[in-house]
Chain A
Amino acid sequence: MDFSLQEIPALVESVLPHLYLLILAVFLGIEVIGRVPQVLHTPLMSGSNALSGVVVIGSILMVGRAEDAPWPVLVLACLSLVLATINVVGGFAVTARMLNMFRKKK
C-alpha cells in the first residue's frame, strides 16, 4: 500500500459531506431531548436503549449475505440477529409498560 500527500485534498473532499451529517446528527441528538423532566429519565433511557438496537439492520444484512459464507459466519450472524431483536422488541415493550403507568387516571 502506498500513500502520498497529493491524495489529501481528495480525501478531505470525500469525507466532508459525511462529516456534515455526523456533526448535525450529534447536535440534533442533544437538542432533541433538550429539557427532559426527571420523571422521564428512566423511560427515555429505556426507549433510547431500544433504539440502539438499530444494529438489528446490520445483523439482517449480515445474515442476508452469508449465503456462500462458511457456517460459522451464518451462525454468528443469526445469533446477533436474535440478540438485537430481543434488544429492540424487549426495549420498546418495557418502555411502553413504564409509560402506561403514567397515564392519567380518571
Chain B
Amino acid sequence: METLIQIGYLVALVCFVLGIKGMSHPDTARRGNWTLAFGMGLATLVTLMQPGINNMLWIFISLALGSWWGLRMSSKAQMTEMPQMVSLLNGFGGLAAALVALSEVMDMFYGGAMEKLIIKVMGMGVLGNYYRIFYLVTLMISLAVGGISFTGSVMAMAKLNGKVSGQPVRFPMQGLITNGLLVLMTLLIIAILLTIAIVTSPSYTQVLVFALLLLSLVYGVLFVLPIGGADMPVVISFLNSLTGLTAATTGLLFDNRVMLMGGVLVGASGIYLTMLMCKAMNRTLGAVLLGQFNAGSGEVAREVSGQIKEIGVYDTAVLLAYSSRVVVVPGYGLAVAQAQHLVHELEKILVAKGAECKYAIHPVAGRMPGHMNVLLAEADVSYDLLVEMEAINPEFPQSDVVLVIGANDVVNPAAENDPGSPIHGMPILQVHQARNVVVIKRSMAAGYAGVENELFYDPKTRMLFGDARAVLGDLIQEIKRL
C-alpha cells in the first residue's frame, strides 16, 4: 500500500511538471491545465488512501464544500475581475497553510502531537535535537508566511477593485515600521523556540504564537500598501510564489514529498514569472516591492501644457470611415465599460468598408499581462488581429487613425522622452507617430500611474469624451448612416 501511495505521488508530480510546461505554450496550454488538475486530483485521492486517516466524514464534507464554493466563485466572476479572483484564491491558499500550521501548534499544546514529535526525535539519535528545532522553525515559517500571503493577497484584491486606493499609501517611518515588524517576527520565532525548550507550560508559548500570526497578518497589509495599483499583478504573482513556499514547508512538516516538490516548483516558477512580468514593464522586482515607480533619476517631471482639442462622434465617424489603416489601442477603460463586443462590431464595419483594422496590445494592457487578449478573445475578436507592441510600433507612422479607448499610461510619450517622468523607461505604444489620434476617455483624469499624458495635448490628437460603451455605440450608428 505504502509503495502504491508513493508511486501515485510520483505520477502526480510528473503531471505537475508536464502541466506547467504545457501551460507555457499557447497550443498546449489547455491540456496543461487539465494535466495539472489531474495530478492534483490523483495526489488528493492517494492521500485519502493513506493508512491512519480518520475523520473521513469531515474530510469529505470539507472537500465537497470547498469544491462547490470554488466552482461557484469561478463561474460567477466576470472576465474583467480575473486578477482580483486569482488574488483572492491565492489568499485562501495562504490562509489554509497558516491554519494547518496553527492547528498543528494547538495539537502540540493540547493534543498528542508533542509526544509524537518527541518519540520521533528520540528515534533519530544524535540528530534528534536538530530535527526538533528544524521542525518547529518550519512550523513557524508556515504560519507566518501563510499569514502574510493571506492579508497581502486580500489587500492586492482590494486595490484592484478599488475598495482601497490604487495610489501608493505612505506614512511617516514606513520603512522602519515595516522592516521592524520583520525583525520582531524573527525574534518571536526564537522566543517561541526558547519557551518550548525551557518553559513546559503551553500558555506562554501560545500567546507568542498568536502574536506571531497577528504580526504576519499586519505585515501582509503593510507590505502591499505602498505599492501602486498598476503593480498589483507583479505583487499577486510574488504572493503566489510565497504560497508555494508555504506548501513546501507544510510538505516538510508532514514528510510529504509531493507537497514539498510541488510547493518548490510553484515557488521557483512563480518567482521567475514575477521577474518576467517586471521585465515586460522595464522594472526590477526590488523596485516594485519597495514601491518605487522609477523614482531613481531625481529629476522633476515636465509640466504638461497646451490646448486639448475635442472631437464629436460624427467627425470621428467620418475620419474612421475614410481611413484605410486603423489601429485600436484597447485599455482597461474599455474593459470596465464592457465595450469589447462593440469594438469588435466597429472593427467588422470598418473592414467591410475596406479598411485594415488591427489591435495594438501593450504587454500590461488591462490589469495583468495577457488580460486584454482574454477580454478581446471573449468578444470573438480574431487572434490574428491582436498585434503585440514590438510588432505594431514600426507600423504607427503609416497608420491613418489610432483609436485609443480607455488606455492612458501605455501610450504616454513621456515614458520615452521625459527622464523626470515617474513612468520613464516603460516601453510604450508609439501612437504619437500616427497621422491622427482619437482618444476616447471619460475625463481628463490621470491614468493609473497618476501622471499627466502629453499625448492628449499633441496637435494630432483629438479627445472624444464619454463612456467607452456609449461612445462606441453612437460611433457605430453614425458610420452605418454615412
Q: Which residues does A use to contact B, with CB under 8 Å?
A: 1-3, 6-7, 10-11, 14, 21-22, 25-30, 32-70, 72-74, 76-105
Contacts and interface: CB of A to CB of B under 8 A. Distances in A.
23 contacts: A10-B127, A36-B273, A40-B26, A41-B276, A41-B280, A48-B240, A49-B90, A49-B243, A51-B265, A55-B243, A63-B58, A65-B53, A76-B106, A77-B99, A82-B62, A84-B66, A84-B96, A85-B67, A93-B74, A94-B86, A97-B75, A101-B374, A103-B30
Given A7-B130, A45-B237, A99-B29, A38 B280 contact: yes
Interface residues of B, number: 116
A44 B277 CA distance: 12
Contacts of B244: 48, 51-52
Contacts of A43: 23, 29, 33, 370, 374
A1 to B, nearest CB: 5
Contact of A64 (B30, B59, B102): B59
Given A62-B103, A69-B110, A41 B17 contact: no
Contacts of B132: 1
Interface string B128-140: 0110100000000
Nearest to B237: A45
A70 B105 CA distance: 12
Nearest to B244: A52
A77 B43 contact: no
B457 interface: no
A2 B130 CA distance: 10
Contacts of B67: 85, 89
Contact of A77 (B77, B82, B103): B103
Contact of A41 (B97, B246, B247, B370): B370
A55 to B, nearest CB: 4
A38 to B, nearest CB: 5
Given A42-B368, A78-B58, 4 more contacts: A42-B82, A85-B66, A86-B70, A94-B77
A42 B81 CA distance: 12
Contact of B96 (A11, A53, A104): A53
B52 to A, nearest CB: 7
Interface in B223-259: 233, 236-237, 240, 243-244, 246-247, 250-251, 253-254, 256, 258-259
B407 interface: no
A29 B266 contact: yes
A33 B36 contact: no
B253 A58 contact: yes
Contacts of A86: 66, 69-70, 73, 89, 92
B63 interface: yes
Nearest to A23: B264
Given A45-B236, A96-B33, A90 B74 contact: yes
A101 B16 CA distance: 23
B3 interface: no
A51 B246 CA distance: 12
B50 A61 contact: yes
A69 B112 contact: yes
A61 B95 contact: no
A22 B96 CA distance: 23
B85 interface: yes
B260 to A, nearest CB: 8
A86 B71 CA distance: 8
A85 B65 contact: yes
Q: Of residues B126, B243, B370, which shows the largest number of chain A Cβ atoms within 10 Å of its Cβ?
A: B370
Q: Of residues A6, A47, A74, which shows the largest number of chain B Cβ atoms within 10 Å of its Cβ?
A: A47
Nearest to A37: B26
B274 to A, nearest CB: 9
Interface string B1-37: 0000000000000001101110111100110111011
Given A1-B197, A65-B52, A101-B377, A38 B33 contact: no
Given A36-B273, A41-B276, A64-B55, A49 B89 contact: yes
A52 B90 contact: yes
A51 B106 contact: no
B93 interface: yes
